[in-house]
Amino acid sequence: MAVLVTGGAGYIGSHAVAALLEKGEQVVIVDNLYQGHREALLGGKLYEGDLRDADFLSKVFQENEIDGVIHFAANSLVGESMKDPGKYYHNNVYGTLCLLEEMKKAGVSRIVFSSTAATYGEPERVPIDEFDRTVPTNAYGETKLSMEKMIRWFDVAHGIKFVSLRYFNAAGAHESGSIGEDHAPETHLVPLVLQVALGQREHISVFGDDYSTEDGTCIRDYVHVSDLADAHILALEKLRQGGESAVYNLGSGNGYSVKQVIDVSRAVTGHPISAKIEPRRAGDPAVLIASSERARRELGWTPRREKLEDIVKSAWAWHSANPNGYQK
Ligand code: UDP
């Protein structure tokens, strides 16, 4: 039996593939390689193609004995989703519909879904728990929420059980140093800060220092990508053991400000890292911190790399050894 990982050549997907391989699982990967990297796969059987191509996807299910799916394949840039929501509905929502239809046809009844804290929008309170209201403030978050809801109806009608994992801020890299984050364009704070340390960027822009937080910059909950990967495996195990469908937040429960991230990166890299205060970025809530109590309790998930310093250290090991990412 094999696990199908869609989007397995992407940042979080590739770390999940690595974790599955470490557990001795057979892994089949579907990725169109628009954002993903072939080099990010440490093993498994890659099918290069798109979820929206029904003949292609049906062949993947026919040629392999799939007992569960971990679904990452999606576009995930907030800014882009506001300019081109159609792209997000087509790839994310329609792509998920194609996947679910194929699972139904093949009789595969377990899916672990890569969701996001962006489903909540502006939080009413922090830490955020899974029962808080979901009012996304951007099209990306809205499509992820739609995908969650679609999966729920396939559960009601066809018994496809799901675990939806809503991540907060994924960061860091695999402990081997052989895979890590490589987005083009890069928009995330940790890799951008490290690009300044590498001399690839003059300064880091701090998007607003007038928020109602202690140092005025936004606070986020950074969670190590390998801890996220582990949660997917626990979620799949829960479904294999007949567990009920569920939604879980994944975060470390600790909040760090943008200034704290820069300070920790200075300490880790030994570089001065110049920073410039700039206007706020549209749609950024002041504070996003997860309550992951439910995942800890019900999945037995224990993040092992909770300290921001350790997360940045692992990211730095990857970026300093691979300054151009997967491009040699
Ligand atoms: N941020 C920043 N400068 C950058 C990129 C991000 O100040 O060049 C801030 C952003 O406003 C947010 C935090 O860093 O408060 C984390 O942003 P990121 O894009 O990494 O993740 P998000 O929280 O948007 O998912």
Residue 79: its pLDDT value, please? 86
Q: Where are the domains of the chain?
A: 2-171+222-250, 189-220+253-321
pLDDT of residue 65: 98
Nearest CA to ligand 1 atom 18: 188
112 lines ligand 1 (CB under 6 A): no
Query: What per-residue confidence (pLDDT) applies to 282?
Result: 80
Q: What is the predicted pLDDT for the residue at 264?
A: 98
DSSP 243-258: PPPEEEEE--S--EEH
**pTM, whole model, 2 decimals?**
0.97
User: What is the pLDDT at residue 323?
Assistant: 95
pLDDT per 10-residue tile (average), the chain, 328 residues: 98 98 98 97 98 98 98 94 96 98 98 96 92 94 98 98 97 96 94 98 97 96 98 98 98 95 98 97 87 97 94 97 92
Annotated active-site residue 11? The verdict is: no
Pocket test for ligand 1, best of 183, 220, 249 (most atoms within 8 A of CB): 220
Q: Which two tokens stand for residue 61?
A: 């299910």
Give the number of other CB atoms < 10 A from CB of residue 223: 27
* 278 pocket-lining for ligand 1 (C-beta < 6 Å): no
Is 188 touching ligand 1 by the criterion CB < 6 Å? yes
| Model pLDDT, residue 284 | 83
What's the sign of the alpha-carbon dihedral 193, 199, 200, 206?
positive
Of 314, 27, 249, whose CA–CA distance to 117 is shortest?
249
Q: What is the pLDDT of residue 272?
A: 97
Write out the CATH class of domain 2-171+222-250: alpha beta
Task: Encode 278-299 in three state secondary structure.
Answer: ECCCCCCCCECCECCHHHHHHH
Which residue in 11, 88, 140, 248 is the catalytic one?
140
CATH of domain 189-220+253-321: 3.90.25.10
How far apart are the C-alpha atoms of 295 and 254, rounded to whole Å?
15
CA dist., res. 111 & res. 235, Å (int): 9
Q: Is the CB of 187 under 6 A from ligand 1?
A: yes
Q: State the Cα–Cα distance between residues 279 and 90, nearest whole angstrom.
A: 32
